Amino acid sequence: MADKPGLTRLTNTGNGNGSGECGADDCPNVYATDRNSFVVQGDLFNGFTPPEGEGLVEIPEHILREAFSALGWK
């Protein structure tokens, strides 16, 4: 999934700073939005059913660490 209007990919960007564990478009990713929020792409999590209109994804720790690094967070 390439960057879409209003979304900036923070993980698996191919800039050499990523985890290197996954490079295909179907990998877990974190995106920053132009509304100061984040979109998480990942495998569906079926541990419980969220309220209607909401969804859950499971994302590996290394993906969140990569997103934090992209933002300059520690």
Complete DSSP assignment for 37-53: -EEEE-EEP-SSPPPTT
Range of the domain at 29: 7-70
**pLDDT per residue as tens digits for the range 7-59:** 998 887 776 565 556 655 567 888 999 998 999 988 888 999 999 999 988 88
Dist. CA 19–CA 29, nearest whole Å: 11
Predicted TM-score (pTM) of the model is: 0.72
Number of domains in the chain: 1
Is 1 domain-assigned? no
**Dist. CA 6–CA 32, nearest whole Å:** 8
pLDDT at 1: 47
Give pLDDT, residue 18. Answer: 59
Cα(50)–Cα(48) distance, integer angstroms: 6
Considering the domain boundaries, does residue 34 fall inside one?
A: yes
Classify residue 58: in a domain, yes or no. Answer: yes
